Amino acid sequence: MNVPANLLYTEEHEWVLIESGIATIGITDFAQEQLDELVYVEVDTVGETLDRNEVFGTVEAVKTTSDLFMPVAGKVIEFNRELDENEGDNPTMVNEDPYGKGWIVKVELTAPEDREGLLDAAAYQQLIG
């Protein structure tokens, strides 16, 4: 299971990369494997400021739909165009490259201290076994 050491993680299986006040967020390799092939990624919160743990979107796989939770508070400033049904319409990018081209949103942080509640790679690896 791929768990990059440079990222932070949530117990709900999102990953976060924080650079210069911007958080890039996606779902982990473990999550995409559990969901199997994604058929749809929906994010209707671009432009909204959300608190930590609020739902910012959903991912739909063949047999289930799962909510996506904000790992950090902030304003959603971008939804990955590759995943957007009105743009690239390629949700399987999350399956193919969850930590790279399969990122889901970018968020301008409003509470940088939220990062302290996230898991490092070792703690996340222990969570998923």
Residue 74: what pLDDT? 97
Between the alpha carbon of residue 128 and those of residues 3, 11, 17, 95, the distances in Å are 10, 9, 19, 18
Residue 86: what pLDDT? 86
> Domain containing 112: what range?
8-128
Say if 110 falls within a structural domain: yes
Q: What is the pLDDT of residues 36-59, one digit of tens each?
A: 999 999 999 999 999 999 999 999
Say if 3 falls within a structural domain: no
Say if 2 falls within a structural domain: no
Domains identified in the chain, total number? 1
Residue 88: what pLDDT? 86
Residue 37: what pLDDT? 92
Say if 26 falls within a structural domain: yes
Residue 63: what pLDDT? 85
Residue 107: what pLDDT? 98
Say if 1 falls within a structural domain: no
CA 83 to chain centre: 12
Domain containing 76 — which CATH number? Answer: 2.40.50.100
Q: What is the pLDDT of residues 70-97, one digit of tens each?
A: 999 999 999 999 999 888 899 999 999 9
Residue 67: what pLDDT? 97
Residue 65: what pLDDT? 95
Q: Percent of the chain at pLDDT above 70?
A: 100
Say if 42 falls within a structural domain: yes
Say if 24 falls within a structural domain: yes
Residue 1: what pLDDT? 79
